[in-house]
Structure 1
């Protein structure tokens, strides 16, 4: 059984000061309390720790061994507690953030970098992945919060979000797009359902939920079997395949804003408005955010608003 920590703390200060009186002053207790605590610790360990002499105490070899074990723990604990107290006054510590892969690679790294310029005592852990993985990590306490893009095709079942507080952050435009070369060769302005069904498609995941959702939104019907030229597990790969003229894929327009601005990628529009997808901040319900989290989220919102593409390709929800 481990000795009582308070007695180990008494021992640490007595050994460091070589004085019962000095330890009592450090700990703001009486000398009698220190002497009694030491006596009980020696009884627990069944070994003497100090030899009492006329004007002081002399550590025994056992005391030296015990001090070498206790010293790193006590000093690290005191340092962390000082830092913990400081974190209530300014951002400090490790912030663990989850994000969809593409969103994290394009935006989160630059937001982290600009935040650390202001608050160098903050470091980050960034976990990239799908919604289910990231939500499970938040639920388990492995992430402080995550950004989650619940695509329109997946909005039917939100029962898994009961444990969370969900705050919309960004509204992004979701489009069906292809390379301009593919558009000019295969589409040529014909956006009819009959013609679109003859083309090649890039599927995000085998279930094709995103593609099917696009057709249902724009044509009020599920698309029959599509000619899938490539199936991938992330949007970045869909955009890369579009660049290689492999067909049409459903993407968030801001993720390919450079190619769209240059005219390398063309969107396929219908008489229906584009689909909007919400990226939300997700954290445990009833959680009290730390000062570091509050300051970072304000910084995130300002940083996203300052990015040149946001007015044309997505809109920010107002901060609560």
Structure 2
């Protein structure tokens, strides 16, 4: 028997004060219980019980050992129960890295449904760019990230969830200038409004434009998608935005989509997490929830 098994037998005998009753509780034979106690006494070179016709009673050494062993076994039992609770999603924490825009336009409905299903799971939402979120995943500060793809990192598992289209939008001032399908070269001659250079979506569009032999130098570089829309609305320039996250402005006529002769290729947003580490039960269920809703 392992040392842990010996201590479990020892504590049960100490509580029941009888080998037969302890054997019944442990689903063992009485000789097996007696042998376990004798083995533990030999290993410790100490007598733990006094045997009498009325049962067995702890010696002074046995009482001292019982105080520690019983506490340790109780801690192990509580730990096992906590693991079971985590597996059953009756407790736990889900740590997600995500940017403001994706959180607002993509993530919120899934958070709401997950919370309704598993109300005892708490959320920790950490804000950041795609590069920052990837670093947080690798450091263990978040379990999963919801990011702009593409991501070039062999250490991460990538699960695309939604295709998005990058477009240029403008206010009323530039609408007439950009009437009809126009080339990228024509658009880039105008004042440009882009996300800051470290944004993954900005890099994707800029790389595509560069592949056409066109270099850009934005007049405004902003930290949020919402500001792109607002700056374009007041005619400060032509903004590069995600079409799916700009519906409200486009549908209300606050902004106008620039029709390009050649559309920017679609990209994805999706879930990413470490390949080398198993997801927690809560993280696994959350990823499944997103994928089941989408597909």
Considering the TM-score relative to the shorter chain, is it more than 0.5?
Answer: yes
Alignment of structure 1 residues 189-228 onto 2, 5 Å: 189-190=177-178, 193-194=185-186, 196-205=188-197, 209-210=203-204, 212-213=206-207, 215-216=209-210, 220-224=212-216, 226-228=217-219
Is 1:278 matched with 2:277? no
**Count of aligned pairs between the two proteins:** 284
SS at match of 1:22: helix
* 1:29 lines up with 2:20 in the alignment: no
C-alpha distance 211-137 of structure 1, shift in aligned 2 (>3 A): closer
Give the drift of 1:272. 1.4
Structure 1 gaps of 5+ residues are: 305-318
| CA distance 1:165–1:198, change in 2 (3 Å) | closer
1:1-320 matches, cutoff 5 A? 4-42=3-41, 49-59=48-58, 60=60, 61-67=63-69, 69-80=71-82, 82-83=84-85, 87=88, 94=92, 96=94, 98-101=96-99, 102-120=101-119, 124-135=123-134, 145-151=144-150, 158=152, 160-161=153-154, 163-178=155-170, 183-186=171-174, 188-190=176-178, 193-194=185-186, 196-205=188-197, 209-210=203-204, 212-213=206-207, 215-216=209-210, 220-224=212-216, 226-232=217-223, 235=225, 238-239=228-229, 242=232, 246-283=236-273, 296-301=286-291, 303=293, 319=295
Deviations 1:258-280 (A, max 9, x none): 23322333332312124311123
Q: What's the Cα RMSD here?
A: 4.1
Q: Give the direction of change, closer, same or farther, for the CA distance of 1:69–1:109 in structure 2 (3 Å limit).
A: farther
TM-score normalised to structure 2 length: 0.71
Q: Which has the larger radius of gyration?
A: 2
CA contact (8 A) 2:97 2:136 kept: no
Q: Would you say the 8 A contact 2:190–2:238 is kept in 1? A: no
**Cα distance, 1:5 vs. partner?**
2.3
Shift of 1:114: 1.3
Q: Deviations over 1:140-180 (max 9, x none)?
A: 777655443225xx7xxx3x23x4544432111112234xx
| C-alpha spacing 1:171/1:38, structure 2 compared with 1 (3 Å) | same
Q: Is there any run of 5+ residues in structure 2 with no aligned partner, and where?
A: none
Q: CA offset at residue 66 of structure 1?
A: 1.0
Partner of 1:312: none
What are the superposed Cα offsets for residues 109-164 of structure 1, whole Å, 9 maximum, x if unpaired? 4313213423446555545444445445656777655443225xx7xxx3x23x45
**Cα gap change, 1:302 to 1:206, in 2 (>3 Å):** closer
Give the 3 Å change call, closer, same or farther, for CA 242–82 of structure 1 in structure 2.
same
Instruction: Give TM-score scaled by structure 1 length.
Output: 0.67
- Secondary structure in 1 matching 2:165: strand
